[in-house]
């Protein structure tokens, strides 16, 4: 077993800690250069580090970790960007005619693996100072599928297309109208089919820079599938899409199997990953420190392995506690209080779109989930509650003028300063309290980001900080629009629990717009279902109980879920299957007992 200290440079601030890691390192005291400083930044010589853990305990910024790795893994290192940086062990194994899913935490190496397989990043087998040439790389993978893969990739005999993770950055790089851009890349002559399948008819004449996140996502997927290639890579294809769009997109991506294409998908929505994939690779390790790619598993086994946190065939436990799912609608943790917000029938018109909001009310201590297709008025409704936009007709009445805290759907890094500066500005004296640290900062995994500049955060990190900022304000009404975007499975469930605890502790109320059905199950006490015709007219129904709301929503989507017997996780039924027909007949679209597959 190799035991060494690993440094996270983003958290390290040697100017503020007086080089404590160096001063307290036992090997350094014995004239062994286990830690040295270059350009005022510490570097750990891993071959000399004894893994004593003293530097980890002394570091005030949580910038150091002790990592235990099996000796044999060192021979399977695929890539490292530099000294004391993230290390990736192994790679996913692609196969023709198979959809391979990648599942793991953020910062664990999924995007790095996709970039290596696409050729955007040339793997170095851990030798960042003396990178190997292609002949060495091919020799390293001799006898495996990856030998042939990299041999073809190195000689340009393998064509790979890659849909990136952050589609909201596409308009900064590509300009023009959707229809014209898609026509240019339509090498498979299937643009008409993709336009129909991905519902792009109404946006073909629009410019990329005016599209929503969901529209950009569908355009990016269409552009990827339109191109003629041997390998198709998709990084988080469900972000910003509603449930129906996610399933339709999954069907479209899965259709590539019929043409014997190699397809690899990194995805956090478990139901969609299950529906889409044939096989799965689990990524485990320590985020931003190292990641290990498991061997290939069948889809059901692979997802259950991830949820249980134990890989039997490798005898590795990477999570202390399994992730548990509800079998029945969860009961509210406490009785809801008095009415906080009541609204009469309202209407909001924006251009050709019209939203009608039926009368309703919410009580103190409730979390109201909001479900519905994209373009149906969910964000418009939230903006009405946040008083960002006024209703065209009607108004909302409250006991008093409510204090509102709002996290928008699309977040940007406009704040100048660190995460700690931002949260201190909002939380004020609460920032130093034990409650704030234990109920907001730690559950959202923001502690390690406090010294980071907000402009340097990734999409997932920015999302967590935005949620923390929203919940840091003492408010009577919290409004969160799509808080799970770019978060991994564990972060989504932790986010859901954090929202619930803050609402209960502060006796406040929250509305949460969310497309991940599983996340809504964890968050919501009641549901508001939005129906209508996207982009034309929407109807916001009053809050309903969880069972009735979920059944109404999934009936509208024409989708049913079953439960996995082992982990109780929701799984999408194949349309027209025996179980799908039975559940539709008895009008139970989601909360059914687990049965054997």
Tell me the per-residue pLDDT of 520-572, one tens digit each, with 9 for 90 and over.
Answer: 887 888 999 999 988 889 999 999 988 889 898 888 888 898 888 888 888 88
What CA–CA distance (Å, rounded) separates 212 from 318? 37
pLDDT digits (tens, 9 = 90+) for 55-87: 877 887 777 777 666 555 778 899 998 877 888
| Inter-axis angle of helices 459-472 and 419-427, nearest 10 | 20
What CA–CA distance (Å, rounded) separates 477 from 470? 10
What CA–CA distance (Å, rounded) separates 296 from 285? 17
Please tell me whether residue 38 adopts helix, strand or coil conformation.
Answer: strand
**Where along the chain do its domains lie?**
2-69, 80-311, 339-544, 558-597
Q: What CATH number has the domain spanning 80-311?
A: 3.40.50.300
Top CATH class of 2-69 equals alpha beta
Across the chain, how many H-helices and E-strands are there? 22, 29
Same fold across 2-69 and 339-544: no
Going by C-beta distance under 8 Å and a sequence separation of 6 or more, which residues neighbour residue 419? 446, 449, 450, 451, 452, 454, 457, 465
| Inter-axis angle of helices 489-506 and 459-472, nearest 10 | 10
Question: Across the chain, what does the average pLDDT equal?
Answer: 87
Check if CATH label 3.40.50.300 holds for domain 339-544: yes
In tens digits, the chain (597 residues) has pLDDT values of 455 667 776 677 777 777 788 778 887 767 777 877 776 777 777 767 777 878 877 887 777 777 666 555 778 899 998 877 888 999 999 999 999 999 999 889 999 999 999 999 999 999 988 999 999 999 999 999 999 999 999 999 999 999 998 888 889 889 999 999 999 999 999 999 999 999 999 889 999 988 888 889 999 999 999 999 999 999 999 988 988 899 899 999 999 999 999 999 999 988 899 999 999 999 998 887 889 999 999 999 999 999 999 998 888 888 888 887 766 555 444 445 688 888 889 999 988 889 999 999 999 889 999 998 888 999 999 998 888 888 888 776 554 578 999 998 878 777 888 899 999 999 999 999 999 999 999 999 898 888 888 888 877 889 999 999 999 999 999 999 999 888 888 898 899 999 999 999 999 999 999 988 878 887 888 999 999 988 889 999 999 988 889 898 888 888 898 888 888 888 888 888 899 999 999 999 987 655 554
Q: Which residue stretches of 312-396 are H helix?
A: 378-385
């Amino acid at each position: 077993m190799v035991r060494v200290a690993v440094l996270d440079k983003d958290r390290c601030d040697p100017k503020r800690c007086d080089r404590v890691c160096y001063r307290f390192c036992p090997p350094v005291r014995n004239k062994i250069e286990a830690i040295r400083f270059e350009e005022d930044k510490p570097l750990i010589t891993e071959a000399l580090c004894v893994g004593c853990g003293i530097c980890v305990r002394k570091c005030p910024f949580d910038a150091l970790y002790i990592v235990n790795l099996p000796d044999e893994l060192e021979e399977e290192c695929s890539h490292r960007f530099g000294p004391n940086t993230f290390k990736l062990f192994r790679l996913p194994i692609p196969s023709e005619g198979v959809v391979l899913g990648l599942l793991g935490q953020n910062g664990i190496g999924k995007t790095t693996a996709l970039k290596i397989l696409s050729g955007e990043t040339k793997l170095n087998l851990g030798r960042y100072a003396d990178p190997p040439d292609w002949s060495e790389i091919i020799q390293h993978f001799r006898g495996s599928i990856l030998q042939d893969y990299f041999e073809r990739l190195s000689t340009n005999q393998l064509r790979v297309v890659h849909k990136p993770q952050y589609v909201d950055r596409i308009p900064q790089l590509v300009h023009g109208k959707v229809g014209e851009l898609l026509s240019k890349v339509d090498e498979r002559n299937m643009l008409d089919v993709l336009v129909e399948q991905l519902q792009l008819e109404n946006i073909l004449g629009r410019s990329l820079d005016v599209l929503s996140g969901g529209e950009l996502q569908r355009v990016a997927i269409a552009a990827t599938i339109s191109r003629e290639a041997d390998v198709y890579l998709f990084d988080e294809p469900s972000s910003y899409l509603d449930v129906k769009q996610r399933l339709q997109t999954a069907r479209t991506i899965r259709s590539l199997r019929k043409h014997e294409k190699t397809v690899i998908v990194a995805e956090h929505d478990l139901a969609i990953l299950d529906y889409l994939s044939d096989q799965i690779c689990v990524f485990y390790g320590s985020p931003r420190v190292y990641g290990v790619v498991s061997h290939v598993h069948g889809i059901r086994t692979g997802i259950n392995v991830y949820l249980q946190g134990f890989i039997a065939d490798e005898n590795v436990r990477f999570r202390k506690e399994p992730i548990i799912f509800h079998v029945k609608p969860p009961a509210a943790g406490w009785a809801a209080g008095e009415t906080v917000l009541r609204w009469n029938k309202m209407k909001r018109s924006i251009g050709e779109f019209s939203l009608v909001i039926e009368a309703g009310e919410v009580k103190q201590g409730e979390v109201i989930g909001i479900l519905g297709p994209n373009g149906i008025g969910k964000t418009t409704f939230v903006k009405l509650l946040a008083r960002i936009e006024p209703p065209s007709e009607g108004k909302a009445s409250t006991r008093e003028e409510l204090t509102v805290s709002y996290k928008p759907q699309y977040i940007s890094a406009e704040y100048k300063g660190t995460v700690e500066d931002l949260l201190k500005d909002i939380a004020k004296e609460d920032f130093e309290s034990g409650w704030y640290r234990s109920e907001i900062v730690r559950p959202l995994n923001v502690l390690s980001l406090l010294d980071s500049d907000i402009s340097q955060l990734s999409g997932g990190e920015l999302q967590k900080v935005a949620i923390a900022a929203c919940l840091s304000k003492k408010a009577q009404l919290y409004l969160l629009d799509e808080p799970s975007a770019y978060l991994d499975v564990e972060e989504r469930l932790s986010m859901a629990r954090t929202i619930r605890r803050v609402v209960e502790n502060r006796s406040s109320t929250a509305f949460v717009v969310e497309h991940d059905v599983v996340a809504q199950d964890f968050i919501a006490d009641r549901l508001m279902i939005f129906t209508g015709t996207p982009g034309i007219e929407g109807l916001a129904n009053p809050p309903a109980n969880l069972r009735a709301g979920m059944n109404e929503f999934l009936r509208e989507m024409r989708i049913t879920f079953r439960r996995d017997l082992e982990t109780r996780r929701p799984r999408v039924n194949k349309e027209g299957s025996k179980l799908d027909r039975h559940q539709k007949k008895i009008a139970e679209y989601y909360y059914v007992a687990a049965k054997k597959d």
